[in-house]
Amino acid sequence: MQYLMNLFLTITFALIISALSACAGQPTTSQGNQCGNGLDKAYKELADADAKGFGGSVAYVKASGLLAGAKVQQQFGKYPNCVNKVKRARYYIKQAKLGKDT
């Protein structure tokens, strides 16, 4: 009987932990969604700039660094910081496509 109780508690505990961890990665705020959507768009724009030959520019490198930082901010739930970095990265991507190194 004790064995079944321990087994039941272990399985219940494992299910609760699984359910909680599945919810942890989902942003629940508009800034969280804005961060995620902005990262997706910015990475596509960055890939496009790279494909067009702007991958070695200073602006491209700045944008790439900002997007890496934004991704870290997203993972820690710092959505306002993520949104800020994404906006700045997209500016530098546009500058790279124009051939301007800022």
Q: Over its length of 102 residues, how does the chain's per-residue pLDDT go in tens digits?
A: 654 444 343 444 444 444 444 444 555 689 999 999 999 999 999 999 999 888 888 999 999 999 999 999 999 999 999 999 999 999 999 999 888 766
The interaxial angle of helices 79-97 and 30-51, nearest 10 deg, is 20
> What pLDDT does 56 receive?
80
Q: How many residues does the chain have?
A: 102
pTM score, whole prediction: 0.70
Q: Give the Cα separation of 75 and 47 in Å (integer).
A: 22
55 class by beta-carbon count within 10 Å (0-12 exposed, 13-18 middle, 19+ buried): middle
Token code pair at residue 24: 């942890």
Domain ranges of the chain: 29-97
Q: Under 8 Å CB-to-CB from 67, ≥6 apart: which residues?
A: 39, 42, 43, 46, 85, 86, 89
